[in-house]
Structure 1
Amino acid sequence: MVPVQCYFVLSALLFFIGVYGFVTRRNLIAMLISVELVLNAVDINFAAFNRLLFPGEFEGFFMTLFSMGVSAAESAVAIAIVINVYRNFHSDQVNSIEN
């Protein structure tokens, strides 16, 4: 059985990789992928804390499923925004978006 601390370490790594990717990238798709990494880190934390604090219950897992649904909806909206930005500015770089 994998210790819960390993899940916390994995979650922290995913979170910091996602934040680093969001701050350093200028491509809108890469930034969206970085945000998804951060949200996956949160999902892992929900499940790990549920296993640590309430081993016989499933509230953390239900929160994870709810968060995954919200993440999917957020991704669909973000991709629609990226497509509209590309149509208007002919680029997917953040620097090209001007008034």
Structure 2
Amino acid sequence: MHLAYPAVLAVLLFCTGLYGVLARRNAILVLMSVELMLNAVNLNLVAFDVWLRDTLHGGQALTLFTIAIAAAEIGIGLAIVLAVYRNRGTSDIDRLRDTAEGPGPDPAEPEDPAAPAQKAEAAA
């Protein structure tokens, strides 16, 4: 078997996944793109394992571990995306950058150290 064929396919898969991670805004599509990248790595592991004729089949064993880790990652990732979608109503990554509930303090405005004491006097 020529090593070039699975290596080129793995590069195409990885580049497609990388484009999906960098260009997509939907969190589910980003997770699918990460899965494409992991599958490209798995393809390389198996191809090099066959090409080197490893007697322990280390590449195939690492591929099984990678598949198990990817399944756990996608399960947790989808649970997080579903919870965020239920709370926010969107899975758009650009809209999810601000995770705070309120606007919070303005970072451009410096805090006055005497402000809490002034508020306490005003309340009394």
The root-mean-square deviation of aligned C-alpha atoms, in Å, is 1.2
Higher helix share: 1
Distance in 2, matches of 1:96 and 1:32, equals: 17
Q: CA deviation at 1:56?
A: 4.2
Distance in 2, matches of 1:55 and 1:6, equals: 19
Q: Do residues 13 (structure 1) and 12 (structure 2) align?
A: yes
Q: Is the 8 A contact 1:89 1:96 kept in 2?
A: no
Residue deviations 1:58-79, cap 9 Å, x none?
A: 1111111111011000000000
Q: Percent identity?
A: 40
AA at the equivalent of 2:76:
V
Unaligned stretches of 5+ in structure 2?
Answer: 101-124
Corresponding residue for residue 85 of structure 2: 86
Unaligned stretches of 5+ in structure 1?
Answer: none
Distance in 1, matches of 2:61 and 2:3, equals: 18
Question: Deviation above 4 Å: which 4+ runs of structure 1?
Answer: none
Bigger-Rg structure (1/2): 2
* Number of equivalences: 98
1:13-92 matched pairs, under 5 angstroms: 13-92=12-91
Distance in 2, matches of 1:30 and 1:13, equals: 17
Distance in 1, matches of 2:82 and 2:55, equals: 44
